[in-house]
Amino acid sequence: MAILLDRNTRVLVQGITGREARMVTAHMLAYGTAVVCGVTPGRGGEEVAGVPVYDTVAEAVVAHRPTAALISVPPAATLDATLEAIEAGLRLLLIATERVPKHDALRLLRAAGAAGVRVIGPNSVGLINPSQRVKLGAIGGDRPERAFVPGRIGVISRSGGMTAELGLMLRRRGFGVSTAVSVGGDALIGTPPADLLPLFQADPETDAVVLFGEPGTRFEEDVAEALADGRFSKPLFALVAGRFTESLPEGTAFGHAAAIIRGGSGRPSTKLAALRQAGAWATDDLDELFRFLDALASSRADRKPGQH
Amino acid sequence: MARLLEHDAKAILAARGIPVPRGQAVSSPEEARRAAVALGRPVVVKALVPVGKRGKSGAVRLAADPEAAGEAAAALLGREVGGFPVERVLVEEAVPVAGERYLAIVLDADGRTVRVLAGREGGIEVEELARREGGIASLELAPCEGLMPFHARQLWRSAGVRGPALPRLGQLTAALHRTFIELEAELLEINPLAETAAGELVATGAVVALDEAALFRQPELAERVVSGPAWRPPTALERQVAAINAAEPYRGSARYLELEGGDIAFLCGGGGASLLLFDALLRAGGRPANYAEIGGNPTEMKVAALARVVLSKPGVRGLFVAHNLTNNTQVDVLARGVVQALCEAGRLPPDFPVVARETGVNEAEGRAIFEAAGVRWLGEEVTLSEAARIMVQAMRERYGESDGDPARP
């Protein structure tokens, strides 16, 4: 079961004729994902890796009934592509595009929220369900199984690259992954880490969650709140990187507005303290993260959380 | 955040119907004197640097006559304010003020909203004011929602403002909101927003920050923004990296931050792994000479250009190359670029320690290239933290257990 993705997910790729999207489409198909159609305005009638290309999402939806879209278009086209997918009735959108203008990101997230559409990203490398061999996005490249083997750990990462690295390190220590989600590297994203916790909480195939956090935003503080008030009760292992950024000069704030509206500071040390206070196994040291996981595994010797 | 200097910020506001003081940006005391003569009244002389709190750091001076304006400019020019050298000052008419208010429109990423902030009293103590109940009134707007003047009047009323200025505040706030949307700004702040005895409004202080990712739609502003660290101007090496990115914007991305001191050149990526690796180097007792994030499958030429930059910083005595398991960045391409730069610089192992933890696409070929050049290659058996420890150990083996200061090897 895992979360968000399964064998029944039918994928539409927006911007499918682009260089990156062509490669990702081929990799998704090779892994076993049902990529059923693609869209590039003006390129309808072509094929990419055997997948038919349409001019509009509306046409592709009528012909193939996709349930999820991978949006891989240039930054300036992302708002338009996302609104097109929402209007055509898609329920899960993964936006891979980096450097989406912030005003556009605000607008597309508002529209998705109003329509009840789940958005992962922008700036997400993808999500993957290894037990069913389904992935949405570039995650894992052409060899997903090198990083992601089936197992019972959920992965949530603010860094696309670290999603694969964590999968790889988990695999090497005998653990596997139920679902791994690169939530996107920006501050304005559709599904911040705390929003995934209820899904992992409800997933019988997930025993614990590993979170990779970074400086900035309130995302880790929100995760701590979800732990503290019991919305998430499985073990949570958090790695928050970037402690050194706290020793960089801050510079003089440009204007007063940030100080007026901001409560939290986005500092890794504050995030770690909040997570620990809430009962997470939180650290800024990768090796300590794995010591935590090993400790959990040996304390439950009868049922190692990584084993499928 | 792409910042604008105050004279550019005010030009933008003036062009959109928001009154600003008359003024001129100048770069010498004599020009300042002449500007004051032309304005024909007392002036304010302000250091043009992309930092806040200039009033508190003495970078804003009142001058009663042109001679005083020249002296104020002489005192400010060449000084450093908030880490930035003052190369120009803004000379503008001093506005006779009956009251000062605070107005800002800000993109609030945490709240996923656009927020309008209105303060009955503005000035340099506005943050103090914000801590008091009702000191600052706040209005949230959906991103594509317009702001009508009546919304703004309601906001100002809830900030405790009444009288003849109210309709003008409504109009000005609506105009500022249109500007915010048009420029795709992250922050527009008018502080103080001066009110004359006659109830006229003048934006005597203005702060504008734009979204870097949207600058492609604002080409006329793109060349005027100040980017880079908030605490100093970009260094020569940082400007080189910006030029490398600009020369090849479509393949691979590089962030580079030069740091003081350090002896380990840091050529790592992507974003999260760089943060983790830098923390790990420090924990192991290493001293990185720079921070960097390199990813997105760069070309060999781009890798070599970046490697040259990180290697050229004075004091560098070793190189750390590391990434997370790559999704698309090709390890062989990385290896070729790095080795090319090492050869050119004549800095090769074992004399110059180089450790590369590079695993992922085209790994076997990449490993062979690294190892042929004498680079210590590490694969997935080694965690990112272990790789950082091995790098620091390689520096100790080469340079001894001394504190490793390049000045005292």
- B385, B241: one domain: yes
- B314, B385: one domain: yes
- B261, B176: one domain: no
CA distances from A26 to A21, A191, B6, B157, B325 (A): 9, 26, 50, 59, 20
Which CATH number fits the domain that encloses residue B170?
3.30.470.20
pLDDT tier for residue B57 given thresholds of 50, 70 and 90: confident
Determine, yes or no, domain membership for B240: yes
Determine, yes or no, domain membership for B370: yes
Determine, yes or no, domain membership for A4: no
List of chain B residues whose C-beta atoms are within 8 Å of the C-beta of residue A147: 325
List of chain A residues whose C-beta atoms are within 8 Å of the C-beta of residue B230: 249-252, 254
Q: How many residue contacts between A and B have a Cβ separation below 8 Å? A: 215
Instruction: Dump pLDDT digits (tens) for B8-28.
Output: 999 999 999 999 999 999 999
- The minimum CA-CA distance between A63 and chain B, rounded to whole Å, is 32
Which CATH number fits the domain that encloses residue B367?
3.40.50.261
- B251, B376: one domain: yes
Q: Does the pLDDT at position A308 exceed 70?
A: no
Q: Does the pLDDT at position A134 exceed 60?
A: yes
Q: How many domains does chain A have?
A: 1
Instruction: Dump pLDDT digits (tens) for B174-197.
Output: 999 999 999 999 999 999 999 998
Instruction: Dump pLDDT digits (tens) for A162-184.
Output: 999 999 999 999 999 999 999 99
Q: Where are the alpha helices (DSSP H) in B125-188?
A: 126-130, 149-158, 165-183
Name the residues of A annotated as catalytic.
256
Of A140, A161, A253, the CB nearest to B273: A161
Q: What does the pLDDT read at residue B409? A: 36
Q: Which residues pair with B253 in a beta bridge?
A: B295
Domain that holds residue B256: 236-399
Determine, yes or no, domain membership for B259: yes
- B246, B374: one domain: yes
List of chain A residues whose C-beta atoms are within 8 Å of the C-beta of residue B146: none
Q: What does the pLDDT read at residue A298? A: 81
How far apart are the C-alpha atoms of B92 and B327, rounded to whole Å?
54
Give Cα A144 to chain centroid, integer Å: 15
Instruction: Dump pLDDT digits (tens) for B63-75.
Output: 999 999 999 999 9
Q: Is B145 helix (H, G, I), strand (E, B) or coil?
A: coil
Determine, yes or no, domain membership for B318: yes
- The minimum CA-CA distance between B38 and chain A, rounded to whole Å, is 30
Of the three residues B93, B123, B151, the one that is the final residue of a domain is B93
Determine, yes or no, domain membership for B296: yes
- B193, B316: one domain: no
| Contact check, Cβ <8 Å, B384/A76 | no
The residue behind tokens 């990423």 is B109
Per-residue pLDDT averaged across B34-52, rounded? 96
Determine, yes or no, domain membership for B9: no
- B278, B332: one domain: yes
Identify the residue among B127, B274, B275, B358 best suited for mutation to test binding to A, counting A beta carbons within 10 A and taking the highest.
B275
Q: What does the pLDDT read at residue B402? A: 60
How far apart are the C-alpha atoms of A70 and B256, rounded to whole Å?
30
Of the three residues B190, B222, B254, the one that is the final residue of a domain is B222
How far apart are the C-alpha atoms of A211 and A159, rounded to whole Å?
10
Element (H, E) at B195: strand B185-195
Q: Does A158 touch chain B (CB under 8 A)?
A: yes
Whether A11 and A136 have beta carbons less than 8 Å apart is answered as yes
- B394, B273: one domain: yes
| Contact check, Cβ <8 Å, A214/B213 | no
Q: Does A256 touch chain B (CB under 8 A)?
A: yes
List of chain A residues whose C-beta atoms are within 8 Å of the C-beta of residue B383: 169, 286-287, 290
| Residue from A198, A193, A228, A226 nearest A212 by CA | A193
- B361, B384: one domain: yes
- b vs e for B128-138, b when ≥16 Cβ sit within 10 Å of the residue's Cβ? ebbeeeebbbb
Of the three residues B38, B63, B93, the one that is the final residue of a domain is B93
Which CATH number fits the domain that encloses residue A134?
3.40.50.261
Which CATH number fits the domain that encloses residue B54?
3.30.1490.20
Determine, yes or no, domain membership for B186: yes
Instruction: Dump pLDDT digits (tens) for B269-300.
Output: 888 999 999 999 999 999 999 999 998 889 99
| Contact check, Cβ <8 Å, B272/A162 | yes
| Contact check, Cβ <8 Å, B52/A252 | yes
How far apart are the C-alpha atoms of A11 and A93, rounded to whole Å?
10
Q: What does the pLDDT read at residue A22? A: 97
What part of A 52-91 touches B (C-beta under 8 Å)? Answer: 75-76
- B203, B287: one domain: no
What part of A 138-157 touches B (C-beta under 8 Å)? Answer: 138-142, 146-147, 157
Q: How many domains does chain B have?
A: 3
Q: Does the pLDDT at position A80 exceed 50?
A: yes
Domain that holds residue A217: 10-299
Determine, yes or no, domain membership for B247: yes
